[in-house]
Amino acid sequence: MLWAKKENAPPSPGSSYNALSNLDINSDSVKQFIQFLIDKKMSITSSLAVFEGATTTQPQPNQEALNAMSPDTRDFYLQRLTTTKSAKGPTVYDKAYANAAKMEKMFYDMGGLLSVGTDPTGNGGIIAGYGNWRAIELLVEADGFTPLQAIKIATLHGAIGLGFDKTIGTIEAGKNADLLIIDGDPSKNISDLRKLQYVFKNGVGYNSKKYSTQ
């Protein structure tokens, strides 16, 4: 059966995922498109933490993140999570997610500027702080970057993309820097980013754990 598309009507919700899931990312056309973006000095922001919310392979939620949600948001998120994870994979969303992650790495390896970030979309599980941690973890878990590459993408590359790399993005003499004190080594285990002890903002230290429980 053929369905007539109404003029100016948006595509169906799953159409972009279907196209991405079936895409041959090793094709010449994909590589040419990535090179086109690079030649035009376009940057890409990885938002796999949002994309992951549609997959059956997403992990169980972090309890601290759940505690930070309002009750109605938490109920909505957990209901959506249960429905999504109950689907028999690999689904079209799983395949599309895997292709998106691989193309991010291709873009980076070909010389593109990749940064990382989140936005409050998807299944409701992306919230400030916790979502950023997951986004950086996925650079390692899904894209295949080393932890040090992921940290660089999350710091210096973001500064370059915004045009602020002369003043922020790395720890150097003469630059402004907000610093994190972490009880671990994220250069070896990227999830150690979650072991946050203190944040120094404008030279003032804050106990993050203490603030999160108030």
pLDDT, tens digit, for every residue of 35-74? 999 999 999 999 999 999 999 999 988 888 899 889 998 9
Average of pLDDT values for 160-180? 93
Residue keyed to tokens 């940057």: 43
Gap between the Cα atoms of 156 and 160, Å rounded:
6
The pLDDT, as a whole number, for residue 126 is 85
Query: What average pLDDT does the structure give for the chain?
Result: 89
Gap between the Cα atoms of 198 and 196, Å rounded:
6
Angle at alpha carbon of residue 129, lines to 103 and 72, rounded to 5°: 105
Helices (H), the chain: 15-21, 28-39, 48-51, 63-68, 71-85, 92-109, 130-141, 147-154, 156-162, 208-212
Global confidence as pTM: 0.86
Average of pLDDT values for 82-111? 94
* Residue 146 in this model has a pLDDT that exceeds 90: yes
* Residue 2 in this model has a pLDDT that exceeds 50: no
Burial class (CB in 10 A: 0-12, 13-18, 19+), 98: middle
Backbone angles phi, psi at 182, to 5 degrees: -120, 135
Gap between the Cα atoms of 40 and 56, Å rounded:
35
DSSP letter assigned to residue 195? -
Question: Among the listed ranges 54-58, 88-92, 189-193, which one has the minimum average pLDDT value?
Answer: 88-92
Element (H, E) at 201: strand 196-201
What letters, b where the CB count within 10 A reaches 16 and e where it falls short, cover 111-130?
Answer: ebbbbbbbeeebbbbbbeeb
Quick check: 26 and 86 in contact, CB under 8 A?
Answer: no
Burial class (CB in 10 A: 0-12, 13-18, 19+), 27: exposed
Quick check: 58 and 65 in contact, CB under 8 A?
Answer: no
- Alpha carbon 165 to its chain centroid, in Å, reads 21
Gap between the Cα atoms of 66 and 127, Å rounded:
10
The torsion defined by the Cα of 4, 10, 13 and 17, in degrees rounded to 10, comes to: 90
